[in-house]
Structure 1
Amino acid sequence: MSAMLLTGRTRHPSQRRHSLQSHVRRHGRRDPGAPLRRNSGVPGAAGTARHTDWKAFLMFSLFERMVEPFPPRDLTTPPQGGLFRFVWFYAKPVWPLLVATAILTSLISIVEVSLFGFLGQIVDWFSGVSRETFMAENGLTLALMAAVVLVLLPGLVFLEGLVTFQGLAGNFPMRFRWMVHRWMLGHSMGFYQDEFAGRISTKLMQTALAVRETVMKSIDVFLYVVVYFTGIVVLVAAADWKLVLPFAAWVAIYALILWYFIPRLDRVSQSQADARAEMTGRVVDAYANVATVKLFAHTRREADYAQRSMRGFLGTVYGQMRLVNLFYVSLYALNSLLLFAVGALSIWLWHGELVSVGAIAAAIGLVLRINGMSQWIMWEVSALFENIGTIRDGMSTFTLPHAITDRRTAPALVVDRGEIAFENVAFHYGRGDGVLQDFELTVRPGEKVGLVGRSGAGKSTILNLLLRFHDVESGRVLIDGQDIATVKQESLRSQIGMVTQDTSLLHRSIRDNILYGRPDAGEADLLRAIERAEAADFIAELPDIEGRSGLDAEVGERGVKLSGGQRQRIAIARVMLKDAPILLLDEATSALDSEVEAAIAGNLYRLMEGKTVIAVAHRLSTIAALDRLIVLDEGRIVDEGTHSELLDRGGLYAQLWTRQTGGFLLGDPDAGAASTIRAAE
């Protein structure tokens, strides 16, 4: 059935491996992270297009390469202690481009203000120069100003666009996402158990854009305003210092308006960011668990649950828009007052022959420009503080330190024999008591041990502590005499293979999911693992909506397109491919039907050969043949021994066994264990 993995057609067993290998030779393997290539159908067309693009967009590419969006892998803890420190931590590497943006913004502002001065000069020329001599006297000046308008200003804007759009717009937020994503992957399992996955991912995407907008808008808006108004003061004062008075009064009142509204917009933006994150988390939670929603017929209930968070978010929007409306009206009234004051003062000064017509034209032009610019500033400031609220909301998540960390000098774990030891281990999930207390267990090299007990006895906790998903609160966990708290986490987990009951697959192809166990594995090893996991038949028949099939078919989010048994066989194939010296099985065959379980049992036992194994199962027949069974109750070992020894002692294990077999098996209670052993032989 291996041939069907890629072709989707049934072939005779003798053709299986040959057909699959020939397909591999023809098509090869695609890196899951590599982009799909599009074939134009014209030989050399792709190369020609790339050559043309290279020539056409050389300047764009130059600026696009100025910022490294994916910096090296060394991780630095995000700073705590304030908004500025957090933003600067991510903005500091791109400071040369930010300085360039600031300089270009200043130059553009200066040139734009100077154009109003030139406009006033032209008006004076019109009123005092004859038409016959106008071009002769002012032609050179007009030509220079034409060069400024047609060449210099567009050139500065284009250069600013290169720095902003090519250098920063894409690379800056991507760099933030990359750095934060790597940091978030280092958090413990406990962190992710307390957070919505959708909420975290939404925060990551939104905060990246908010950081970029906050930095760039701060430069664009505030620097532009400062330079622009400085230029206005200089230009107007050159005509008559009295004309500066309305502008100075406008700046003072405008500052008061900002002082009143900005803190209030800031506060409402913070509450809005919290409400948005909660709303997104609830919606994503419903989508991620849609099967449960439909199973219990709670579509209406989930809609109401989401609606409550949407109403909460909408309430923050209403509050924000009320402030924005008052802000807008206040600015409009202030701008109208400025226009009236400058107009009235200009007429009075002109009537007293203190200013020229050109100076009045320049002043009125600047007022109209300020009128439009102040409203632009209003919206930009409103958006700025909305972004600040988003950043603060993201900071509450992204600046949290890792609960489980590696020491800087931590060595890699070396597994020679595979001995596992729990020494006086206490762990309570931070509750103060319960789960494990003074727990002692030693698993000899190559020994196969089963953990048995009621739900909540601590079986899965033991596996999680061995994987260092949590740190023990006291005591030590050792592998070959090495304290796992002192070695690198990745080296620890690379030496352990695990199959769980709740098998979670990545939203990628079946090939990618199985190769996750050992990414550098060859096709022969991949196919062998699939065969041993009894997964070849169903993989061959799997299509997806994109027309892919077999190993290239995608499994959907968390493997939702597969049945529980199919997901578990993929997980078993993955751990078989990994072939780690320590094997953990947590209800590894619970989702398999009896026929598939019997077929795969032999391969599982062969996989266990030469490995240290710890298995957890509520279905006792699946672990009855192991070397030693550890019986747990309330975090303590209450009994241990082989299956037969435990039955003879008549303790908790015998009670559990009788409950499982009494209604289904007649006669010898060892029959279930015997059938499992026969399946493995």
Structure 2
Amino acid sequence: MDIDATDDDVFDDVRERVDHPMRRLFEEYGSDNWVAFAVGLLGSVAARLLDLLPPVLLGIAIDATFEENRPFSLGPIPLYEYASEPESQVIMATAIIAGAFLLGAGFHWIRNWGWNSFAQHIQHAVRTDTYDQMQRLNMDFYADKQTGEMMSVLSNDVNRLERFLNDGMNSAFRLAVMVMGISAILFWYNWQLALVTLVVVPAIAFFTYRFIKTIQPKYAEVRSSVGQLNSRLENNLGGVQVIKTYNTESYESDRVEDVSQDYFDANWGAIETRIRFFPGLRVLAGFGFVVTFLVGGLWALPNGGGAPLFFTGTLSTGEFVVFILLSQRFIWPMAQFGQIINMYQRAYASAERVFGLMDVPGEIEERPDAPDLVVEGGEVAFEDVSFGYGAGETADEETILDDVSFTVEGGDTLALVGPTGAGKSTVMKLLMRMYDVDEGAVRIDDQDLRDVTLPSLRQAIGYVSQETFLFYGTVKENITYGTFGATDEEIIEAAKAAEAHAFIQNLPDGYDTKVGERGVKLSGGQRQRIAIARAVLKDPKILVLDEATSDVDTETEMLIQRSLDKLTADRTTFAIAHRLSTIKDADQIVVLEDGRVVENGSHDELLDEGGLYANLWAVQAGEIDELPEEFVQRATERRAQTDAADAADDDD
């Protein structure tokens, strides 16, 4: 699947439905962490106010020392009553400044604790809630999304929110306190010179506004390209064995280079915008400082002509020093405002993706008052079932199952047979309610699956797929997955039933052997037998075997089949198999073709009919020359349809 640079973000459809994502972040998650927020805010305000005290004291000390008409006082606080001599005034000012630094360090620690706690708790809650939502989504959603894209939301986007809530919020409140505090001090000293210092603020605000408008769509492109890059890398690393065996390393390197170039182009576009913005902002900020220094310096000259230009009043040396020190602390933080906006825009784009994903409705809905499924006899009935993936979303949606009906008695084994794409696995997905039927009903012991709770339904069904998945961990952990409280004896019995105990004992650490990522350290047959043991240990009322022996050799298949015969003796069993020899003893065989039931009966009955099942049996018996031409032609058409569908998927 080639990913073009113009491809849309796969989450565009969900992002468009999200309103005010950042406000929602604070409303839904901030309220539970208000104490940490309050601590961080208090620490920020106190620490920054204490940071402003040393420059002010320095100016007061300079004026009190070098200008006799200036009293040594801090606003309404008459410090001269406690230190009347210049030496004692310097010592007192030094002591107060040192105390401010020490106290400020304590508040800086409180500030950092508060913001980090606030951000980390929200990050944890958002990530776990997003993952929980992912687990609840209908399988249709995953058909359009790749693992790398989903991981990008859980990892990159959630981490971006944490960085803004910690660094961004910290910086924003620091900036707010500095701007308001410094503005108040400057206006208190000399409102005219304060206006000179603040003259660049409107220009900075307009410059920042233009930056926001320009950078926002660029960050959306970056987020999209990151998801595509992650998907390509995850796809290739998962298929590295196929890449090596087909000698396609150079081809895949080119594909990775393409998506990496897309990311490079999108990211470099955002970087170019940033690197133009921040130097420009510093020039504006520097201009404010230069003008303040020029006007204030001329104004404060001891032998100068007094207030320059149209200004009035006086400006002492100490006041000029305060202006110079605080204007630096005022102007340069203003230049950092762009960094905060930059972080906010990144967090905004990430919040859209996170909440967009959270808002995706799960198509499988459970009634609030739904009772648990009660399985007594284990009878399963499909009644006039029709179904299509994404039905109703597009006018040309293809129907997968069309008016399918059959009943399997409790304790019987029903086999589903048919060509590839006939709908066999879809029938099983409807039984486990991975999807809901479009028409008709699926019932267990006369209970409509849509009327019972999902956990009770799926607890009653054991499923062994043809695509065996093992989690990273030990053999024992994989067998007990879903039945976590099983004893060692129960685990061993389940493994024996699946013909897995013998090979497990020969592993380096037995049942404690690590199976590797997706069970890579085991053979396909070994993985399959562990999956069967997992289902056996669950002891379900209904058992589903979807090509359960497809990855084992003939000898192992015979051993597993012998155990499965015992396992299925007293429970309702569904078996899907292309290898018809494994299901010929089933109580009932349902033959599907193009989503419809075309034959239904026992093995011998279907052979006598001489229909599709008999022809499939002949194929596996090697009697190809005796097959009717109509069957061969139909098989050719089905193969062409399958190839066309695969090609369409590759182009998506």
TM band (smaller chain): 0.7 to 0.9
CA distance in 2: counterparts of 1:491 and 1:343, whole angstroms: 76
Q: How does 1:642-653 map to 2 (within 5 A)?
A: 642-653=602-613
2:62 — aligned with what?
123
Q: Residue 214 of structure 2: which of 233, 249, 264 is its match? A: 264
1:143 has 2:108 as partner: no
Moved over 6 A (4+): 129-132
CA distance in 1: counterparts of 2:164 and 2:119, whole angstroms: 12
CA shift, 1:228, in A, is 1.3
CA distance in 1: counterparts of 2:465 and 2:227, whole angstroms: 31
Contact 2:168–2:340 (CA under 8 A) maintained in structure 1: no
Contact 2:158–2:350 (CA under 8 A) maintained in structure 1: no
CA shift, 1:84, in A, is 2.7
1:677 — aligned with what?
none
CA shift, 1:428, in A, is 1.3
CA offsets per residue over residues 544-583 of structure 1, 9 Å max, x none?
xxxxx22122212222221111111101111111110101
CA shift, 1:427, in A, is 0.1
CA distance in 1: counterparts of 2:398 and 2:340, whole angstroms: 53
Contact 2:366–2:451 (CA under 8 A) maintained in structure 1: yes
CA shift, 1:96, in A, is 2.6
Contact 2:442–2:448 (CA under 8 A) maintained in structure 1: yes
CA distance in 2: counterparts of 1:365 and 1:140, whole angstroms: 20
Contact 1:507–1:556 (CA under 8 A) maintained in structure 2: yes
Aligned length: 581
CA distance in 2: counterparts of 1:387 and 1:541, whole angstroms: 52
1:474 has 2:439 as partner: yes
Distance 1:389 1:430, change over 3 A: closer
Q: Residue 368 of structure 2: which of 408, 414, 425 is its match? A: 408
2:131 — aligned with what?
181
CA distance in 1: counterparts of 2:618 and 2:119, whole angstroms: 67
1:244 — aligned with what?
194
CA shift, 1:206, in A, is 1.7
Contact 1:274–1:393 (CA under 8 A) maintained in structure 2: no
1:561 has 2:521 as partner: yes
1:606 has 2:544 as partner: no
Letter in 1 for 2:415: G
2:178 — aligned with what?
228
1:156 has 2:94 as partner: no
Distance 1:617 1:504, change over 3 A: same
CA distance in 2: counterparts of 1:597 and 1:136, whole angstroms: 96
Distance 1:490 1:310, change over 3 A: same
2:21 — aligned with what?
83
CA distance in 2: counterparts of 1:258 and 1:137, whole angstroms: 44
CA shift, 1:91, in A, is 2.7
Contact 2:53–2:97 (CA under 8 A) maintained in structure 1: no
Of residues 122-131 and 574-583 in structure 1, the stretch that sits farther from structure 2 once superposed is 122-131
Distance 1:658 1:586, change over 3 A: same
Letter in 1 for 2:601: G
CA distance in 2: counterparts of 1:397 and 1:176, whole angstroms: 11
Distance 1:247 1:541, change over 3 A: farther
Q: How does 1:465-504 map to 2 (within 5 A)?
A: 465-504=430-469
SS at match of 1:170: helix
CA distance in 1: counterparts of 2:417 and 2:274, whole angstroms: 63
1:316 has 2:266 as partner: yes
SS at match of 1:439: strand
CA distance in 2: counterparts of 1:123 and 1:481, whole angstroms: 93
Q: Residue 50 of structure 2: which of 104, 111, 117 is its match? A: 111
Of residues 604-613 and 645-654 in structure 1, the stretch that sits farther from structure 2 once superposed is 645-654
CA distance in 1: counterparts of 2:240 and 2:230, whole angstroms: 15
CA shift, 1:246, in A, is 2.0
CA shift, 1:598, in A, is 1.5
Of residues 619-628 and 303-312 in structure 1, the stretch that sits farther from structure 2 once superposed is 303-312
CA distance in 2: counterparts of 1:172 and 1:188, whole angstroms: 26
CA shift, 1:238, in A, is 2.0
CA distance in 2: counterparts of 1:100 and 1:399, whole angstroms: 32
CA distance in 2: counterparts of 1:644 and 1:516, whole angstroms: 39
Contact 1:517–1:577 (CA under 8 A) maintained in structure 2: no
Q: How does 1:32-51 map to 2 (within 5 A)?
A: none
1:636 — aligned with what?
596
1:671 — aligned with what?
none
Q: Residue 376 of structure 1: which of 326, 329, 336 is its match? A: 336
1:397 has 2:397 as partner: no
Q: Residue 98 of structure 1: which of 37, 62, 66 is its match? A: 37
CA distance in 2: counterparts of 1:339 and 1:635, whole angstroms: 77
2:617 — aligned with what?
657
CA shift, 1:217, in A, is 4.3
CA distance in 2: counterparts of 1:304 and 1:479, whole angstroms: 52
Letter in 1 for 2:519: G
Letter in 2 for 1:404: I
- Structure 2 portions without partners, runs of 5+: 1-16, 73-82, 308-313, 392-396, 627-652
CA shift, 1:371, in A, is 4.5
Q: How does 1:350-361 map to 2 (within 5 A)?
A: 350=300, 351=304, 352=306, 354-361=314-321
Q: Residue 477 of structure 2: which of 504, 509, 512 is its match? A: 512
Distance 1:384 1:84, change over 3 A: closer
CA distance in 1: counterparts of 2:589 and 2:89, whole angstroms: 106
